[in-house]
Amino acid sequence: MGQLGLLVNTVTIAGMIFGEWLARGNSFYSGHDPEMVGSVWRNTLGYSLILLSALVAGAYFLPALLGETLPTPHLLLMAVMVAAVVAQRGFSGILQGRDRLTAFAVIPLVFIGTYFSLNTLGLLEEGVAGVLVAWLVGAAVATLVAAGLSYTAGGVSRTLLQATATLGSRGALSATLIFLLFRSDVFLVEHFLGTEILGVYVVAVVIAEMMQRGPNIAGAVLLPKVLRGIDDGHVMSLEVSRWVLAFSLFSALGVIAVGAPLIAWIYGAQFAGAHSPLVWMLPGLIASGFGSVLNTKLAGQGYPPVTMWGPGAALMTNIGLNLVLIPRYGLTGAALSTSVAYCLWAVIVVVAYQRMTGLAWRQFVRA
């Protein structure tokens, strides 16, 4: 299982490295100009095939460089898996940009359904190779479905591909920094407090991630509207951000009121200590939920510099505070550092949004 986890994580990271820019760029250009969709689709297909060829070729040379650490058949499976993941993300980006959110949501369900169906038929009993094959087939089927649902006739456009890479790379950097902002404290807690204490903190992080699901879904739905110009008056983004703020406040009250007994009941008494750091995280979670919706609006404007330096500054703040507060205050210090960093990011985003839109501050809180 350790080897399988390593392989799957490697594929996931490689998919982000090679495909995050494609997904972000495809969403942007498909939403902004419907006439480009055919060329976006054709560029995605061409890039995915070139990437597949390069990765398969690399799979034959890596064993000579790495010894027998990874067998060539496993490397070949991983190469095809990475290409499938990248293509799937690219075609799904087209669906999101065109505001075809039902089709966009179906793609991961196709992968999950195919993967578990194949495992149910017995491939899991064949070891790591069997699991990888099931994973690959699931990714391939999901990719074909995404390609079919997003297909539009058009020709390859080298200029468009270059523009997609430029803009998509900014989006990928922004997404990576935000991801690290929400995860960096986990590594520092393990470093200072050990694996056992980290287990308690991870429970708090898992619940915090659940609270973030609402803002994340709201952002995914809002983005294609922004790209298509539906929110040019900024009414929709403000309205969605207010509803997300209400959702976050309601969730926070629930955590304060019944979080402790629920954590002990679901995870066990040994993890009851997760409630205290979770409560310290709440101000930051509320602020970041509100800010993440407005950040979606900024992303829809082509990922201006603030979408990169904003989470970067918050990430550096989070790391710096963790280095000081974790040794002194333990999990409380980690949660407080995270909360401050989230609030900082939200403030940066809100100020940038206000300057971009020119809206009066009272409009942010007006019902």
> Which residues form the domain of 153?
2-162
Distance CA 315, CA 338 (A): 9
Measured between its terminal Cα atoms, the distance across the chain in Å is 52
**Which residue, among 174, 304, 167, 292, has the nearest Cα to 222 in the 3D structure?**
292
306 with 352: CB under 8 angstroms? yes
Residues 6+ apart with CB under 8 A from 24: 93, 167, 168, 170, 171, 172, 175, 303
167 part of a folded domain: no
Cα 208–214–220 angle (5° rounding)?
A: 125
pTM (two decimals): 0.84
Distance CA 314, CA 305 (A): 14
**Residue 58's pLDDT is what?**
85
If you ran DSSP here, which 8-state letter would residue 233 be given? T
**Residue 64's pLDDT is what?**
60
284 part of a folded domain: yes
Cα 69–73–78 angle (5° rounding)?
A: 85
**Residue 12's pLDDT is what?**
77
Low-confidence ranges of the chain (pLDDT < 70): 1-9, 62-72, 121-128, 365-367
**Residue 120's pLDDT is what?**
72
- Choose one of 132, 162, 192: the last residue of a domain: 162
Number of domains in the chain: 2
**Residue 1's pLDDT is what?**
44
DSSP string of 98-146? TT-HHHHHHHHHHHHHHHHHHHHTTGGGG-HHHHHHHHHHHHHHHHHHH
Q: Helices 72-97 and 101-120: crossing angle, nearest 10°? A: 150
Domain co-membership, 157 together with 195: no
Distance CA 140, CA 28 (A): 24
If you ran DSSP here, which 8-state letter would residue 234 be given? S
Distance CA 27, CA 15 (A): 17
Q: Give Cα separations from 313 to 167, 261, 281 (angstroms).
A: 21, 36, 18
Q: Copy the structure tokens of residue 270.
A: 């040994």
Domain co-membership, 143 together with 215: no
Domain co-membership, 242 together with 138: no
**Residue 122's pLDDT is what?**
61
87 with 48: CB under 8 angstroms? yes
**Residue 2's pLDDT is what?**
43
21 part of a folded domain: yes
169 part of a folded domain: no
pLDDT, tens only, 77-106? 888 999 999 999 999 999 999 999 999 999
Distance CA 356, CA 144 (A): 39
Domain co-membership, 352 together with 240: yes
